[in-house]
Structure formats: C-alpha cells, structure tokens
Amino acid sequence: MDSRTGLPVVGMVGGGQLARMTHQAAIALGQSLRVLAVSADDGAALVAADVVIGRHDDIDAVRAFAKGCDVVTFDHEHVPGDLIRTLAAEGVTLLPGADALRYAQNKRDMRAHLAELGFPVPRWTDGDLQQFGDEVGWPIIVKTATGGYDGRGVFVAHSVADIPDVEGLIGEERVQLKRELAAVVARSPLGQVAAYPVVETVQQDGICVEVLAPAPGLDEDVAVEAQRLAIDIATRLGVVGVLAVELFETTTGKILVNELAMRPHNSAHWTIEGARTSQFEQHLRAVLDYPMGDTRLTAPAVVMANVLGGAPGGMPIDERLHHLFAEEPGAKVHLYGKQVRPGRKIGHVTVLGDDMEDCRRRAARAARILEEGYVH
C-alpha cells in the first residue's frame, strides 16, 4: 500500500501509450501507478510520477521494480514467461499470469489450445505449408508464431514461393471475410466478468485505423455469441485483467477467433469517453480484484480513429491541434507522446453522437487534420 494514500500500488511493465492511459485512469481512483519504462522518453514516463528505467526482459530489473507493488501487470506481451514464473514463485503477484499470457504471446500455442478447447478458429497448421495450401486452397495466411503486431509478421502467400524463409511460421486458411470484430471483456481473480459492446474494427495494411461501437448492423444473437465466447476464453484460460478477442465475421455469418490480447487494447480506446467505465479503469479494477464497472455506452454511436504518423516536417502538431479544435470541437484527442514515424500510431481521436456515419466522417476528418495538417 502507498502509505500516503492508503491505496494499493499497481506496477505496469512497459511505458507505452497503454501505460500512459492506465496512469490517467489510476489518478481518478487515487491509486499510485508505478511504470517500468525502457526510456525516460517513453509515453508513460513523460507523465507518470513513479517511473523506473529498466528492461522488461531483465529479471533483476523487474524484481527490483516489483518491490513495494501490490500487483504487477503489463502494457505489452513481451515479458518472458519464465521470468514471470520465477517472480511469482518468489511471491510477486503478476496478472495475468504466465500460464494465461502464453496464449497471447505465441500464436501456435493459442491456435492449438483454443482448438483443443473447442473454440472456433480458422483452419491452420504448424506443419508443411505447401501441403496445407494445396488442401485448403491458395492463397493462405502465413504468420510468425511470436513477435508480430500491426501487420508485422503476417504474409499473404499465393504460392509456396511467397512463404518467407523465417523460422517458427504457422499457416492459416484465408477466411472469406465480411469484416473484423472485437469482443473486449475483463475478469477479476474472483472470476467476476464484464463485457463491452462488440465493436467493428477497420484495418488498412494490417493496421487498425477505425473502431465503430457498437458494431453497425450486427445481429444481436451474433453479438451475444461473441461476448460469451470472450468470457468463456477468459475463464478457461484464467485471464485476469482486460482480454481483447479479435474476431473474424465470415460471409456465412460465423465468427472465428483471430488474435488474443491480455491487456488494454486499441479496439477499446473508445471506452475512455464512450463507455461508463473505460477499459483502463476496468483493467485496474480487475487486477486489484475490485468489482467490475458499468460497460454501457455513453452515446448511441462512438467512433475512434487512430492517428498515424506521416512524413516528417510540415505543420507543427500544436498548429494542427488549433485547426482540429476549430473544425471539430467535439472530437476528443489523445496524443501518446511518441516520436512521429510514418505509419506509427501516435494518438487517437474519439467522436460521440447519434448517427454512426456522421461520427465516422467527423472522426476521420479530425484524424486527418492531426496527420496531415489543415484539411478542407
């Protein structure tokens, strides 16, 4: 406990935008968030008071960081499982635990275990990719088992010649896709769960550019099925904290599990303004075993648009904010304190309203102003 506040100390390994936004949620709850950042220039390190500099894969650094924390959680999945298990055996509370987190760290393990448990997944293999492509039909999707995100480590192979010479690949059938969805839930150590409305995620070049809440035109039975699926996965895997289940909705109306993330997730950034309890507060509640918060929408339609870095130079970001607030005063802006690189997520904007298409137009316009400067 923090002796100054009488409230728990939560440690978050990783100093990126997820830790930054979790820190903002912790302030309202009166909690102290301690951040383990690689650099003092990391997004969370720029705003949090209690920052320790160290690497997430250095057991001595994480061990020292965890001293004085009531619970340690993560803003990414890259902490080695053996490190988590060693510290857990020493009495450190780390959530989610290594036995759950492995299924967000390794796509091969995730696919195999979910299939074993009977959850719907695309047909896949970790064996002969040419034979698999001949069986299910080319093209196939080829993924690195570990390390890929935002389109990295994912390849479309039209023939065996397109398969990269990389170790640890898995192959998946190319699903006849209607759209991509996400079901985000949170689970506490006691087993209480809370589910957010199912959202549609819009991808370009493997990067999520837009999230629509709730998913437009989604059949209510399919939405309930997706929420139950996410809750069941969280329960069966023993996840504590936020779990994002990225889903495929096929042209035949089926839903299939694509990816898992056991932390706050880009598909639920809209909850800061668009839900009665943000995913960041919910994650803190979950790892501290507090009762879960209300997940209902605060408006009929909510749209989040990611802000991607463009070419260096041009209009300064401060001037872009002036234009954005003049053009779209209702847009809520979140900038992550990141250095700008082409295609990098440097922030997001959220727009609430009564009409989904109007919110999409306004959110896209606000994001373009931040990315490109003034847009007519």
* Residues making up the binding site for ATP: 107, 143, 172-175, 180, 258-259
Mark 206-236 as b/e (b = at least 16 C-beta within 10 Å): ebbbbbbbbbeebeeebbebbbebbbbbbee
Start-to-end C-alpha separation, the chain? 52
Task: Provide φ and ψ at 354, rounded to 5°.
Answer: -100, -20
Contact 214, 197 (CB under 8 A): yes
- CA 2 vs. chain centroid, Å, equals 29
* Cα 89 from Cα 319, distance rounded (Å): 52
* Cα 375 from Cα 365, distance rounded (Å): 7
Of residues 151, 202, 145, the one with CA closest to residue 172 = 145
Contact 256, 229 (CB under 8 A): no
Amino acid residing at 313 = G
Known binding residues are 107, 143, 172-175, 180, 258-259
